[in-house]
Amino acid sequence: MMNSDITSDSNPSAAQTLPRPEYPRPNFVREKWLNLNGPWSFRADPENLGLNQHWFDGFSSDDLITVPFAPGSQASGVQTVDHCNTVWYCRALPPLDWNSDAILLNIGAADHATTVWINGQHLLDHRGGYSPIQGDIKPFLTEANNFIVFRISDTTSWQQPRGKQAGDTKWPIDYDGIIGIWQTVWLEPASSLRIESVGYRYHAAEQRLQISVGLSGHSEAEIKVTLHQSEAQSIKVSKNCALRSEVVINLEVPHPRLWCPDDPYLYPITLQIYQDQAPGDQVLSYTGLRTIDIDRGALQLNGQKLYVRGILDQGYFEQGWYTAVSDEALKRDVELTLAMGFNLVRKHQKIEDPRYLFWADQLGLLVWNEMPSGRIFSKSLIQDLTLEWMAIIERDQAHPSIVGWVPFNESWGIWNQRQRPEQRHFVDAIFHLTKALDPSRPVVGNDGWEYSMGDLWTLHLYDTTQKTLESRLQALIEVPSGPVHDGAEPRAGALPGADPTGKPILLTECGGIGLLTAEALMDDAPFAYGDLPKTVAELTHRTEALLAAINATRAIEGFVWTQFTDVQQEINGLLTFNREPKIPLETLRSMILKVGQQKVDLA
């Protein structure tokens, strides 16, 4: 496997003193790069004065923020300002001695609307708090004294895809929001004709790897792909672009070693452009050869039955809040998930740092990517969610760990699909768009209830006994349009005319059992599902009983437990916020691994 921790090109030793010094996009690597994390001048702009006062012409400030941590997080060194929806960043650039056609500025993610100036000249505008930002700064550079300015604005509106970030209202399951940069910022030299994206699909029957390469423009250049089987052996193939900006290349891999959780083997890949036989842009990547499909109502990984033992993970971290303070912290979360006995993580209402996906690839953890929701249906939500979701699929489609896409959760932002057909059309359209962009993975149309279209029938049930769980599921199987849960506004399992019959049924939210501790009582309103156990023994007993009920329910093909850690007032994590287990890991692992094992053994 390639070195995933390429250091900044300018000064490798200095790079190691920066926060988050590792290469930020490990499945799409350019060897030369410059990490821009660290101290930036920072200004909050609660009265929105910066544009009129030309802050984009550069500024210095006594307030310094540590990028890539959002203001308000401990690691950022900056406190948030109440009712401030706009923040500014500025820093000088060091001398750049790259002899390249382009110098690309990259921001992993910034929330929510970003404008960038180079030396006072407008470079780009970007909307979306989770998708990557990129622009070529070379045309704006001078021989000396170059600087960058960012203006990043946010709203509290639920027309915006914001996930669990509290907006103008806050549910008991919402958390403090963020604004500004929350992933690494870096520069890299590149060619004018360059590789912009890569995706992989493995076809097991033909032992064929299909590689989709996106380019920055139409060209007749050659794309050469090398799959490295070992230090001494590789498979090479090339293809002419034929005046296309997207090229599909097929590569046969004899005697393949398949990627799976028990053996997460990755093949290094080199992609390079050749124009007039001269080498151009080069990207280092990797892939895992694996298939994920559905057969006779069950999920399969590499043709073998897959029982999903999943955990819901909100993706919040000590000190960094939306951003892990180190790459090791991301790796540790993957390791803890596997140590508890889970084989899948559903990253809930957040698109995670690519480094997390890298460790999932390396260590063998399956991932569902879930789009953060808005909660007010509007044309603005349609546009923002659609464009950002497309960018996220493009960014993440090369990761073998990702085995599912989840564009909607619990009808958030599409509350009235029964009464307003345009909302249902939106859900169905995003399902079909996702399948058009990536037909190789299952897509959950609307996770939780109100199934309209999707590859899986996923239900959220917090019933806590075998009897209530079985009876509820049996009623839904007989009448899918029946209610998923009780309450003032019960939601149907499926919408009128939709038929989930024969789809794998997964319980994709369950558990949610809290533990009432002295720390939990410090919150004004600690939240969990059902009564709160007061002892570890009681928590262990209730967890074991519900897992046993899930195991005994034959209709279920997998589950996702709520949740990985406590977050603020929500105290239903299996771990505390600082990643301390509430139940001993070996005890929990034993309980988790029992669930579904008989189904796998009988397959």
Taking the C-alpha atoms of residue 392 and residue 347, their distance in angstroms, rounded to an integer, is: 13
237-253 pLDDT per residue, tens: 999 999 999 999 999 99
Residue 3 lies in a domain: no
Number of helices followed by number of strands (H, E) in the chain: 10, 29
With CA atoms as reference, report the closest residue to 583 among 317, 336, 360: 336
Quick one: 457 and 545 in the same domain? yes
**Coil, strand or helix: which one is 320?**
coil
Quick one: 447 and 503 in the same domain? yes
pTM of the model: 0.96
Taking the C-alpha atoms of residue 37 and residue 39, their distance in angstroms, rounded to an integer, is: 7
CATH number for the domain harbouring residue 66: 2.60.120.260
User: What range defines the domain where residue 241 resides?
Assistant: 195-287
Domains held by the chain: number = 3
Pairing of strands 344-347, 308-313: parallel
Residue 408 CA, chain-centre distance (Å), reads: 14
Question: What is the pLDDT at residue 501?
Answer: 93
Residues 505 and 556 sit within 8 Å (Cβ to Cβ):
yes
DSSP-assigned letter for residue 443: B
Quick one: 172 and 122 in the same domain? yes
Q: Supply the DSSP string of 157-213, one letter for each residue.
A: -TTS--TTB--SS--TT-B----EE-S-EEEEEE-SS-EEEEEEEEETTTTEEEEEE
Structure tokens that stand for 467 in this block: 């009897």
Q: Is the pLDDT of residue 216 over 70?
A: yes
Share of the chain above pLDDT 70, in %: 96
Structure tokens that stand for 57 in this block: 């012409």
- Helix (H), strand (E) at residue 89: strand 86-92
Q: What is the dihedral of CA 174, 494, 443, 513, to 10 degrees?
A: 40
Quick one: 123 and 38 in the same domain? yes
Residues 26 and 269 sit within 8 Å (Cβ to Cβ):
no
Q: Is the pLDDT of residue 37 over 50?
A: yes
Question: What is the pLDDT at residue 5?
Answer: 53
Q: Is the pLDDT of residue 12 over 70?
A: no
Taking the C-alpha atoms of residue 169 and residue 145, their distance in angstroms, rounded to an integer, is: 44
CATH number for the domain harbouring residue 455: 3.20.20.80
Question: What is the pLDDT at residue 285?
Answer: 98
Quick one: 206 and 185 in the same domain? no
59-113 pLDDT per residue, tens: 998 899 999 999 999 999 999 888 899 999 999 999 999 999 999 999 999 999 9
Task: Specify the long-range contacts of residues 96-99, CB closer than 8 Å, at least 24 apart.
Answer: 96/34, 96/141, 96/146, 96/187, 98/32, 98/189, 99/189
* Beta strands across the sheet bearing 121-127: 64-67, 38-44, 86-92, 147-153, 113-118, 121-127
What residues have CB less than 8 Å from 309, skipping those under 6 apart?
341, 342, 343, 344, 558, 559, 592, 593, 595, 596
Domain's final residue, options 287, 322, 344: 287
Residue 509 identity (one-letter amino acid)? E
282-334 pLDDT per residue, tens: 999 999 999 999 999 999 999 999 999 999 999 999 999 999 999 999 999 99
Taking the C-alpha atoms of residue 115 and residue 244, their distance in angstroms, rounded to an integer, is: 30
Instruction: State the pLDDT confidence band at 3, using cuts at 50, 70 and 90.
Output: very low
Quick one: 23 and 122 in the same domain? yes
Quick one: 430 and 410 in the same domain? yes
Q: Is the pLDDT of residue 174 over 60?
A: yes
Quick one: 359 and 401 in the same domain? yes
Quick one: 464 and 587 in the same domain? yes
